[in-house]
Amino acid sequence: MPGFEEIESGLGYLKPADLVQVRAAYEFSRAAHSGQFRMSGEAYISHPVAVAGILARWHLDPQALMAALLHDVVEDTPATKEEISDQFGKAVADLVDGVSKLDKIEFQTEVHAQAENFRKMLLAMARDVRVILIKLADRLHNMRTLDAMPAEKRRRIAQETIDIYAPIANRLGLNSLYQELDDLCFHHLYPNRYRVLAQAVKAARGNRKEVVEKVREAIAHKLSEAHLPAIVGGREKHLYSIYRKMQEKSLAFSEVFDIYGFRVLVNDIPSCYLAMGYLHGLYKPIPGKFKDYIAIPKANGYQSLHTTLFGPFGTPIEIQIRTHEMHKIAEAGVASHWLYKSSDAEINEVQQRTHQWLQSLLEIQEGGGDSAEFLEHIKVDLFPDEVYVFTPKGKILSLPRGATAVDFAYAVHTDVGNHCTAVKVNGELMPMRTVLRNGDQVEVVTAPNARPNPAWVNFVVSGKARAHIRHYLRTMHADESVRLGERLLEQAIRALGADPAAIKPACWDRVARETGKSREEILTDIGLGKRLNIVVARQLLMQEHQLPTQRHHSVIAIRGSEGVAVQLAKCCRPIPGDPIIAFIKSDQGLIIHTHDCAAIKHYRDDPDKWLDVEWEPGLSKMFDVNIKLIVLNQRGVLAKLAAVIADEGSNIDNVSMAEEDGSQYTTLYFTLQVEQRMHLARIMRALRRLPEVVRITRVKQRNREASAAGEQNGLPA
């Protein structure tokens, strides 16, 4: 059975009193796991000991080491969190709880279970980054010993690791851990490809050994001549990195020349740039292959100069140039805080960046949504492809590749995103969906009354932006649905001859108990069409024992600005002055049509599927309406039409033209914004006066399209 001595030699950095505590945690774990074995046949205690050993190499504190030794105790043995808290302190118990799985909670599917477990891990990590360090060490040891598992389980665990855990390790700057996880996943997901590629790299190692050594000596000699102290080393790309490059660029292995690279370590930042200058004098640089991660570090704190040169025999060689401190951070990432006790500004910067990212997880969580949605948001932020843009004051922001101006607005601040109305990219007004490029300077224009546009969800890429937009839309939808539900219920109660104000709270309490939902949830269901208003009205009145027999007619007033809970059908585009009727559709609320809309004629005979509505008097909102014009095909006719429309106080929202058929007439379709039916009539009269206009009509749904339009415009099935 593995003993404490297996890790004790690596704990020399601990104080004697702390060492005693860690040993006590080992004894507690050994006793708790007594009689338990891993799939490989080893005593189970070998796993927590190995995890603690990995953390010891990062010089983590005693609490993290104790939590590593105890991390499976609560899940797999009768021991409780309270026992751990009593014996080892609340901090250790919280770390163990953060790492433990959620086996006791029932989920609908395995996907839900995985997503919820991942959410718990990330939110615990946001409170204490040691949770994820323990979890990553746990996963690393499990991956190293995965051969004992059945093939299907190996593939599932490897896929989960490469999708989630390896990107987290990369995001936290744990480069060595990230590369080992990638290679282990590659080995288990594609064993044949792994074996063939490993053999090819091994063969190439022998074939290219002389070239690699010649280049290394040339680099060292050049820097020595310049009296620049440096350590020059060769490095081999890890297998999964080579495989990914072959996949992305459709290359054969023989075409991948940079499987070997070189790393130059110097004493300070000026020496990095000097070294790069000397090496560009030694070998010609390849244009476009230089990256300065020192001036603009990666989001995980990684700093280095990357350059690719034409080496001997025309072979491209990749070189990384960095300081010794940068190298420590590149290898250990966020763990460098523990591994190198230092007040170095670089290490502080890593901590700050990590803290900002972890806080952004909490912000995304506050956006609401279920576990799977949270996982979808956060996956975007785990992958390191980044674009760097500037605020007007020169601050650098790192965004995911493909990020838009809206992503930038939310990266600045949630309120900036929620209230942005326009953006300037490099001083020019640009559309909100503009994809940003490295070096762009972005300025956001905000307005107090501006609100997120639902269409933004279709093009934003950052988890934070998507989460906050969806949260706002959910909140808005719920609020509007409650208000609409209240109006629909009042209409139903009046239709039954009762006064809505006379309904007592006790009646609501009884109905809430019967349905298992609160008053607000019932009203939301009515507004979304999930519950019939007349049924709820009868339930409330039956509680009062005053269900009247006399029915009264009641009509809902429509303002046209209710938002997502009340929508104007796009097939007939009703405007004030049109006789209207409403259909209620589940999850969408009320859909308003004109009385003569062809899409609804099949439903007019069924009174249970429609509601009487009317326009609220004195509306000042603009409404979209479609018109069709047949005009003489003459130069300048479109400008004349636009001038008349503008003179009548209308705006053209859209214009299109029917396909040319060679005749002297052209058919034009306009979407105009009008106040009401009389306003539209004035515009149409003014257009008829133009000699070029042959015919003008308001566009109504054609019969052959009615069925399809009905489905698209909210008709009940």
pLDDT of 589 reads 60
User: What would the 3-class secondary structure string for 611-646 be?
Assistant: EEEEECCCCCCCEEEEEEEEEECCCCHHHHHHHHHH
Report the C-alpha dihedral over residues 567, 570, 575, 579, rounded to 10 degrees.
-90
**Does 164 map to a domain?**
no
Are residue 525 and residue 634 in the same domain, yes or no? no
Q: Are 70 and 88 contacting, i.e. CB atoms less than 8 angstroms apart?
A: yes
Domain co-membership, 537 together with 633? no
What is the pLDDT at residue 556? 67
Examine the pLDDT at 248 and tell me if it is beyond 70: yes
- Domain extent, residue 75, equals 5-144
3-class DSSP state for residue 461? coil
Domain match, 642 and 536 both: no
Select the more confidently predicted residue: 101 or 455. 455
Q: Would you state the pLDDT for residue 529?
A: 64
- The answer on 533 and 635 residing in a single domain is no
Is residue 309 included in any domain, yes or no? no
Same domain? 31 vs 135:
yes
Point out the domain boundary residue: 87, 115, 144. 144
* Poorest-pLDDT segment among 31-35, 312-316, 386-390: 312-316
- Model pLDDT for residues 390-404, shown as the tens digit of each residue: 888 877 777 877 889
Tell me the percentage of the chain whose pLDDT exceeds 90. 16
Q: Quick: pLDDT tens for 499-519.
A: 888 788 888 888 888 777 888
Residues 531-590 pLDDT 10s: 767 767 877 876 555 544 444 445 667 766 555 457 788 888 898 888 888 876 655 567
Residue at 611 is within a domain: no
Q: For residue 266, what are the CA distances in angstroms to 285, 358, 421?
A: 20, 32, 48
| Shared domain check, 139 and 10 | yes
Residues marked active site are found at 75-76
| 601 vs 529: CA distance, rounded Å | 21
Percent of the chain with pLDDT over 70: 77
Instruction: Classify residue 594 as exposed, middle or buried by CB count within 10 Å of its CB (0-12, 13-18, 19+).
Output: buried
Convert the pLDDT of each residue in 443-486 to its tens digit: 999 988 888 887 888 888 887 788 888 777 777 767 777 877 88
> Does residue 271 surpass a pLDDT of 90?
yes
Cβ-proximal residues to 41 (8 Å cutoff; 6+ apart), any chain:
148
Look at residue 632 and tell me if it is in a domain.
Answer: yes
**625-648 pLDDT, tens digit each:** 999 999 998 888 999 999 999 999
* Token output for 681: 């009539």
Residue 712 in this model has a pLDDT that exceeds 50: no
- DSSP track, 473-540: HHHHHHHHHHHHHHHHHHHHHHHTT--GGG--HHHHHHHHHHHTS-HHHHHHHHHTTSS-HHHHHHHH
Mean pLDDT calculated for residue range 187-208 = 82
- Distance (Å, whole) CA 162 – CA 168: 10
| 301-343 residue pLDDT tens | 788 999 988 877 667 788 999 998 888 877 766 666 555 444 4
Tell me, yes or no, whether 340 lies in a domain: no
pLDDT band at residue 658, thresholds of 50, 70 and 90?
confident
Q: For residue 695, what are the contacts with CB-CB under 8 A and spacing of at least 6?
A: 629, 630
- Based on the domain organization, do 35 and 130 belong to the same domain? yes
76: CATH:
1.10.3210.10
Residue in the structure block whose two tokens are 């839309």: 473
Q: Which of 371, 339, 355 is nearest to 175 (CA)?
A: 339
Q: Which of 98-112, 440-454, 502-516, 700-714 has the highest mean pLDDT?
A: 440-454
Identify whether 555 is part of a domain.
no
5: left (phi > 0), else alpha (psi -120 to 50), else beta? Answer: alpha
Domain boundary among 492, 517, 546: 546
| pLDDT at site 343 | 46
Give the pLDDT of residue 711. 40
> Which of 518, 546, 574 is the last residue in one of the domains?
546
In a domain, 105, yes or no: yes
Provide the pLDDT confidence category of residue 115 given band limits of 50, 70 and 90. low
Give the pLDDT confidence of 404-439 residue by residue, as tens digits: 999 999 988 888 998 898 999 988 888 888 898 877
8 Å CB contact between 228 and 271: yes
Domain count of the fold of the chain? 3
Q: What is the pTM of this model?
A: 0.54
> Using only C-alpha atoms, what is the Rg of the chain?
34
Q: Are residues 627 and 509 in the same domain?
A: no
Yes or no: say if 589 and 566 are a contact pair by the CB < 8 Å rule.
yes
In a domain, 679, yes or no: yes
Quick one: pLDDT band at residue 211, thresholds 50, 70, 90? confident
For residue 152 the two structure tokens come to 């299907």
Element (H, E) at 687: helix 677-688
Q: Residue 598 gets which letter from DSSP?
A: G
